[in-house]
Structure 1
Amino acid sequence: MSPDHGARRSRVVLVEPALTQLEKLTGSETHRLDRAIVAISVNPEIGTPVPDTLLRDYVDDVDAVRVIYYVTALRTITIVAYVEA
């Protein structure tokens, strides 16, 4: 019998302007953002849909981060378009 594995995580890719924004973050901000990106990779539907787009907007008030992203059709890749911490 095979072990029970959790949900498969999607691969996360950051694109401009997310990469530019990431360069401006401190170590602490990057750490908080990492936790949000892991949460999104495990559950891509965690964010709120942006009306009339394929984008989703995830805001974590506890860690004070925001990630705007979209997920590919097969849900294997999450494309991060914007980050804020």
Structure 2
Amino acid sequence: MPKRRALVTFHETAERQLAALADGNLARLDPVLDAIAADPEIGWPLADSLLREHQQDGVRVIYYATTLGTIIAVAYVEV
């Protein structure tokens, strides 16, 4: 049985950042979010925090996962 992907949600700050992105940058962000949803442990932990950071192809995402890794809350995006 394949592993279930996590549901990705966005903090209010990240939603504002998404709204300001051009379509090309949104397209660059999608595979990064897919990678995080498939494996929430992919990013490295930020010091003294539940937050994790993942960088891929010039995209940076700061997020945290619920205890079971079923929900990813994106706090910050940079493309």
Q: TM-score, normalised by structure 2?
A: 0.95
How far apart in 1 are the matches of 2:73 and 2:47?
18
How many residue pairs end up in the alignment? 79
Please name the residue that 2:50 is paired with: 54
Higher helix share: 2
Please name the residue that 2:3 is paired with: 7
**Could you list the runs of 5+ residues in structure 2 that have no partner in the other structure?**
none
CA RMSD of aligned residues (A): 0.8
How far apart in 2 are the matches of 1:16 and 1:50?
20
- Could you list the structure 1 runs, at least 4 aligned residues long, displaced by more than 3 angstroms after superposition: none
Shift of 1:70: 0.2
**Could you list the runs of 5+ residues in structure 1 that have no partner in the other structure?**
none
Work out which of the two has the higher radius of gyration on C-alpha atoms and give 1 or 2.
1
How far apart in 2 are the matches of 1:16 and 1:53?
19
How far apart in 2 are the matches of 1:28 and 1:65?
12
1:65 has 2:46 as partner: no
